[in-house]
Structure formats: structure tokens, C-alpha cells
Amino acid sequence: MSRELDIFDAELVERDSVVPRAAVEPGPRYLVTQHTTLGPGELPPLADERPAWQGHDFRLTDEDVADLGEPDLAENTITNRDSTSGIFEAWCAAQKPPRLAHPCTTATYTPYGLHLIRRGKAGECKPDSVGQYMPRIWNWQPVDLRPDPSWFKSGLRVWKKEWAKAGGEVKRAPAVTIGYNVRIIAAIDETTNIGKRDAFLAALAYSNLNRESELTDQLIGRLKIHDTGLYVVTATSKTDQTGKGAGRFIEDREDLQLVRRARAW
């Protein structure tokens, strides 16, 4: 029986020798993150693709800068934020070595929160207070450089549970009863313009469950007076920071005399 043999013209090389391979053209590089979402057959964007932005695409006009400089927060909110951030800056400066407060890292934000929790456990403040301070600092940081608050929040939750088990209780200001509100109104001199305003706003605050900030924003144009009551529009509130507004009809009552006092104002 005969067999056909294949003969190769080759050269023997050492086992450890490197045989060069033919050069291969590099393929495209794609930019993929945890937020990448692709449809069927769709490819991710190329890593070297960039929008054709130019210098003027990053510029604001003087008018734009001036408009953006207008505060979009309530005055008391700005005061509280500035006070809280100032104390945080002082704490950062006192560390050895000093820490950068703005923008701060997660490893700076977290120890400061734990520092406040330790002070709270010593009786200086309550969990709700610390829970208000730390978000102010977080909001104060640049949007794209904000620290991770999850470590601090975890510590705060543990303290809240311990504090509640130990008998801790949040003290809240009591609501004004109708009897007390009537006594307040009775002490106002309604013969003056200021008195007419104050008496009406005191009656309205009770009837519409207004906060002080909502009362100070109340305008005559947002009131519609009817014989049996008022239609009141609340333009902004603590729970409506976007200014969508909400209106409701408030029926008049003999002890508050909303209609008479609104007309007098």
C-alpha cells in the first residue's frame, strides 16, 4: 500500500524563538460606560469622536451671567447654607493636614458627618439636625464633583435607631389652635392699614395652613373674594419650589371673617 506525502520547505527554529506575525490594523475603539444603552444593531460611540465644539460654544454673555447670578433660593435657605458651609470650611482648615472644603472628597465629607454624629451623641444636636446640615454641604459642592453621601447616611441611620431606642423624640412647634388665633386677631388694631393686613393674614394663615414664607409671598392679585369665601392661589411653597402654584376655595367662617377682612385689606 502506498501513501502520498506532502513535502514542506521550512526552517527549524529554537523553541523559545519569537516568530513575527503579520501586522494587523487596529480596530475601532468604542466608548462604553455603565450608562450606555444600545438598540438592536446599534454600535457604541467611537472613543475618539467628539462634538465639533468651538470656543464660543462655551461662552455666556454678560447678561446671561447676571441672570444666573440671581438667587433661586429663599433668603433663609441661603443664610442657613452659608452658615453651615462656613462651619464646614473652618473644620476642614483645622484638620492636620488641612482638607479642601470646596470641592471636597468623599473621604472629607464622610468624616465630617461622623464628627457631627459624635457631637450629637454627646448631646449637642439631634439626628434631624445633622440630617439637615450635611445635605446643605453636599448641595454646596460643584454638581459634577459632589461626594458620595452613602457612607455618612449609613452612619446617620444607625444613630437614629439608637437615639429612638433610647427614648429620643423630635420636638415640634405646636400648631396654633383656632381659639388662640382668634385671641391674636382680637389684639390687632384693625383701624390702621397695617392692622387690617395683619388681621387678614392671621386669619388666612389658619384657614389655608400657610407658613410664614407663603404669607410673605401672598399678593392681592392672587385672591378672589366671593360672598361666601375666598379663592386663594399659593404661588410657591416649601413643597412647591418650582412655582407651579395651587389654588383652593376657603369657605368663610364667623370667627375669622375672611371675606370682611380681605375686603378691608
User: What does the pLDDT look like over 9-21, one tens digit per residue?
Assistant: 666 666 665 556 6
Q: Record the cell numbers describing residue 216, joined without a space.
A: 410673605
Q: Residue 87 falls within a domain, yes or no?
A: yes
Residue 82 CA to residue 245 CA, distance in Å, equals 28
Say if residue 211 is in the same domain as residue 252: yes
- Cα-based distances in Å from 218 to 153, 181, 211, 213, 245: 37, 19, 11, 9, 12
Q: Residue 66 falls within a domain, yes or no?
A: no
Q: Which amino acid is at 249?
A: F
H or E element, residue 109: helix 106-121
Residue 106 CA to residue 88 CA, distance in Å, equals 14
Q: Residue 171 falls within a domain, yes or no?
A: no
Residue ranges of the chain with pLDDT lower than 50?
Answer: 240
| Number of domain units in the chain | 2
For residue 6, the model assigns a pLDDT of 58
Domain final residue pick, 163, 191, 219: 163
Say if residue 140 is in the same domain as residue 212: no
Say if residue 158 is in the same domain as residue 210: no
Q: Residue 93 falls within a domain, yes or no?
A: yes
Say if residue 136 is in the same domain as residue 81: yes
Say if residue 152 is in the same domain as residue 187: no
Domain final residue pick, 136, 163, 190: 163
Q: Quote the domain boundaries for residue 151.
A: 74-163
Residue 101 CA to residue 81 CA, distance in Å, equals 14
For residue 240, the model assigns a pLDDT of 47
Q: Calculate the CA dihedral of residues 80, 205, 214, 193 and round it to 10 degrees.
A: -110
Q: Residue 51 falls within a domain, yes or no?
A: no
Q: Record the cell numbers describing residue 47, joined without a space.
A: 472613543
Greatest alpha-carbon pair distance for the chain in Å reads: 132
The model carries a pTM of 0.52
Q: Residue 33 falls within a domain, yes or no?
A: no
Q: Residue 220 falls within a domain, yes or no?
A: yes
